[in-house]
Amino acid sequence: MLLIDEIQSPLGRIAIAARDGRLCALEFGRARLARQLAARYPDVPRRPTRNPFGLSVKVRAYLAGDLAAVDRIPVETGGTPFQQRVWRALRRIPAGHTMSYGALARALGVGAAARAVGAANGRNPVSLVVPCHRLIGGDAALTGYGGGLWRKRWLLCHEGAQPRATTTRSAGGRSTGRSR
């Protein structure tokens, strides 16, 4: 059984799904959550539940300024072994810090695999908790974020991280203007 909750936030509605005490999905909006759950858990029943396993309270605490509130949330991410390695490494990037895709690839011992790290980052099913927003381009540009670059920018500012560059790039690498 997947327990589903939705909370209001400065980033819009956040929908979460949990089971067996673990966060399985966190998405911006019910429709995105529904698509993710249909792909990962097609036959698992769902039930609306307020604050399943205390997870909604922890997400709210993070958004209210307790940046460590989500650090120890247990997760059920699924994914390939490589994706799981990337997601574990993301959880080790402290709030208020960023890392480039290439630097994370080098830290994982796969220096030439920055694009693969980016692809794994984009498949993260539990954003905020696995802080995919902390990865930036090698030139410090804010690059693709499934929830929208404005949310990535908000999260980084919320955590006190200040990327060096002010340009943003879409997932295709095109410049999309200033981030300020």
Question: Which residue numbers are catalytic?
Answer: 132
Residues 138, 120: Cα–Cα separation, whole Å: 17
Q: Which of 55, 66, 64 is nearest to 16 (CA)?
A: 55
What are the strands, taking DSSP E only, across 34-153? 46-48, 99-100, 135-136, 142-143
Question: Which two three-digit tokens encode residue 98?
Answer: 């960023």
Name the H helices within 92-160.
101-107, 114-122, 149-159
